[in-house]
Amino acid sequence: MAVETAGTVRRWADAHGIGCTDIDVWKDHEERRTGTAELHHAGDPDLVVTLGGDGTFLRGARIAAKNNAAVLGVDLGKVGFLTEVACKDVEAALEAVHHGGATYEERMTLTMRASRPLEIPPGIESLLRYGHGPALPPPPVRHEVAEGDGWGMALDVTALNDVVVEKLARDHQVALGVYLSGRLLASYSADAVIVATPTGSTAYSFAAGGPILSPNTEAIVFTPVAPHMTFNRTVVAAPDEPIALRVLPHSGQAAVSIDGQLRGVLDPGDWIGVYGSPRRLRLVRLRPADFYGRLRDRFRLTDAPATALDGESDLFWRPSSPVPPDLQHLRLPPGDDR
């Protein structure tokens, strides 16, 4: 289905005189490119079309966010929080984008600094990525940003979902000092810790017991995974409050994953800082955003069985009369013409 839909996209582009280049497509013997290198290879596109599920969407997002390109997600996956259209609707979606009939929803992203450039030691990549194809290279240092004064090296990272620091060895948890806005919150011994965006709150952070945040929220979500301590709750920080993770002296090595992709390994004494990026990702939307409808559908939420005798809940709550002045600033579902 993906190959067939890709052919549809190429034919549409040819018919409209628009260039079309494959991105982040590789063979087993080939190396993958960083997001910036992939972007330049593709000729700095205005639109990235992803064919797959949310994982494929994230691969396109890391490239698109580098130059403010928009991303249109064509759904071939199982969850589909980020994808927008079905395969059968891809031509109509491209027409809408081309003729100005689409809207764009902006999402917060994360970026990083580190005490040193990230590296993946020989042998670890093949162990951790067995059966998953070639890994992305470690993120390069952004040399346009001045180094020194203890602030670490700015990395060329754009994360839409999350940055995760996790243990490498099954019998060793990772031990981390966690700092919010420069002040120590706690020292954690855990399987992993997750720093997520509101978009990523429905991914790994949610699976680890974190809250679901509206994608319209500006926040950073910190969630520990299986911590050996009493305090095991998520902390929701403001978007301008950086979160630093320092590997403690007696910890084992820790893997750093960005949007689910292994990008480096930290040794005891190393640290990373994760913070809100000035870059936003632009998602193509063909209809008004309905995050809570997607939440209900994707997680197959239903009313409690105990309420079945009382009748089903209405899909929307919105009186048919005009919206009162004191409510007009709120996000409300459309009226009877929906």
3-state helix, strand, coil in the chain (%, to 5): 20, 30, 50
As a whole number of angstroms, the distance between CA 310 and CA 330 comes to 30
For 141, which DSSP code? Answer: B
Kindly indicate the confidence band of residue 1, based on its pLDDT and cuts at 50, 70 and 90: confident
User: What pLDDT is attached to residue 7?
Assistant: 92
Cβ distance 298 to 79 under 8 Å?
yes
Query: Which uninterrupted H or E stretch holds 115?
Result: none
Q: Are 222 and 195 in contact (CB under 8 A)?
A: yes
The pLDDT value recorded for residue 298 is 79
pLDDT tens-digit readout, 54-84? 889 999 999 999 999 999 999 886 667 888 8
The model's pTM is: 0.90
Give the catalytic positions in this structure.
54
Burial (CB < 10 A; 0-12, 13-18, 19+), residue 52, is buried
Tell me the C-alpha to C-alpha distance, in Å, between residue 149 and each of 74, 115, 268. 45, 11, 21
Is 204 in contact with 161 (CB distance < 8 Å)?
A: yes
- 227 vs 174: CA distance, rounded Å: 10
DSSP state of 4: H
pLDDT of 8 > 80? The answer is yes
Q: State the Cα angle at 133 between 130 and 135, rounded to 5°.
A: 90
Distance, in Å, from the CA atom of 190 to the CA atom of 229, rounded to the nearest integer, reads 9
Asked whether residue 155 carries a pLDDT value surpassing 90, the answer given is: yes
CA-to-CA distance for 293 and 315, rounded, in angstroms? 9
Report residue 61 as tokens: 């997002």
DSSP per-residue codes, 60-86: HHHHHTTTT-EEEEEE-SSS-SS--EE
Question: Average pLDDT for residues 105-126, to the nearest whole number?
Answer: 89
> Which residue pairs, CB below 8 angstroms and at least 24 apart, start in 204-209?
204/161, 204/162, 204/164, 204/260, 205/162, 205/234, 209/234
List, for residues 312-332, the tens digit of each pLDDT value. 777 788 888 899 999 999 988
Query: What is the structure's pLDDT at 338?
Result: 43
Does residue 130 have a pLDDT over 60? no
For residues 279 and 31, which has the higher predicted lDDT (pLDDT)?
279
Please report which confidence band the pLDDT of residue 127 belongs to, taking 50, 70 and 90 as the band edges: low
Chain mean pLDDT for the chain? 88
What pLDDT score was predicted for residue 170? 74
pLDDT digits (tens, 9 = 90+) for 26-35: 776 778 888 8
- Position 247 scores a pLDDT of 97
- Distance from the Cα of residue 133 to its chain's centroid: 20
Do residues 192 and 105 touch, judged by C-beta distance below 8 A? no
pLDDT digits (tens, 9 = 90+) for 196-235: 999 999 999 999 999 999 999 999 999 999 998 888 899 9
124, pLDDT greater than 70: yes
| % the chain with pLDDT above 70 | 90
Each residue's pLDDT tens digit, 9-43: 999 999 999 999 998 887 767 788 888 888 888 88
DSSP assignments along 147-198, one per residue: --TT--EEEEEEESSEEEEEESSTT--EEEEEEETTEEEEEEEESEEEEE-T
Q: Which pLDDT belongs to residue 141?
A: 92
Taking the C-alpha atoms of residue 85 and residue 278, their distance in angstroms, rounded to an integer, is 28
299: phi then psi, degrees, rounded to nearest 5 = -95, 5
Helix (H) or strand (E) holding 58, with range, is helix 54-64
Q: Are 22 and 50 in contact (CB under 8 A)?
A: no
